[in-house]
Amino acid sequence: MNTIKVGMADLAVVKTPGSLITLGLGSCVGIVLYDKINKIGGLAHIMLPSSKEIKNNSNKAKFADTALIILLDEMLNSGAKKRNILAKIAGGSQMFSFNSNSDVLKIGQRNVQATKAKLKECGIPIISEDIGGNYGRTIELNTEDGSLLVRTIGHGSKII
């Protein structure tokens, strides 16, 4: 089975049999799209909520808003049908805590909000999520059944 590794600010789409994995999500969010009829999966590892807040926005996979559009396009190009596509999301934690209200430290929360808003705008339902907290996550999508394995250090593993 081929496993494609998705790095930070990166995305990929794969047909079954195959899996998509992204390692060590912290404040970043992993957006998973899955077409259960055609068994096609997509995964984006986004770092920031919005391409509109930032001047240097050439890497579209870096932002929740632009990454989702590209991921969806690539899913459709690979033969997925929009009406079959469901989403799962994971990540968006706060790795370090400070007293300050710095925006950077709340970036996880903002990434999750932006991801949810964009998925809603695209009309893609979120069927499960594992977000927040103060720990990192590795996620792996199995394109055979759409199950998403979430691994952590000290907070167990689960399938969502």
Partner 1 sequence: MDINNINSMLLDILKEIGNIGSGNAATALASMIDKKIDMEVPQVKILEFKDVTDILGGAEIPVAGIYFELSGDIDGNIMFILNLESACNLVNMLFNRENTKTELEDMDLSALSEVGNILAASYVNSLSNLTSLTLKISIPSISIDMAGAILSVPAIEFGQIADNVLFIETQFEEGNNKVIGDLFLIPKMDSFNKILQKLGVM
So which residues are the catalytic ones?
28
Segment holding 109, helix H or strand E: helix 107-121
Tell me how far apart the alpha carbons of residues 77 and 57 are, in angstroms, rounded to a whole number: 24
Is residue 113 at the binding interface for partner 1, with CB under 8 A as the rule? no
Among 119, 137, 140, 142, which residue sits at the site for partner 1 (rule: CB under 8 A)?
137
Is residue 159 at the binding interface for partner 1, with CB under 8 A as the rule? no
Is residue 136 at the binding interface for partner 1, with CB under 8 A as the rule? yes
Site for partner 1 in 18-57 (CB under 8 A): 23-28, 47-48, 53-56
The answer for residues whose C-beta is within 8 angstroms of residue 71's C-beta and 6 or more apart is 11, 13, 31, 33, 42, 43, 44
CB nearer to partner 1: give 77 or 97: 97
Among 51, 93, 142, 143, which residue sits at the site for partner 1 (rule: CB under 8 A)?
93
The DSSP string of 46-95 is: E-BS-GGG-S----GGGBHHHHHHHHHHHHHHTT--GGGEEEEEEE----
Shortest CB 61 distance to partner 1, Å = 9
Q: Do 86 and 119 touch, CB atoms closer than 8 A?
A: no
Pick the stretch among 5-13, 35-43, 67-75, 117-125 that binds partner 1 (CB under 8 A).
5-13
Please report, for residues 24, 34, 108, 127, the alpha-carbon distance to residue 27 in angstroms, rounded to integers and kept in the order given: 10, 22, 4, 21
Is residue 4 at the binding interface for partner 1, with CB under 8 A as the rule? no
Q: Which residues bind partner 1 (CB under 8 A)?
A: 7-10, 23-28, 47-48, 53-56, 58-59, 62, 93, 95-98, 100, 102, 104, 107, 134-138, 151, 153-154
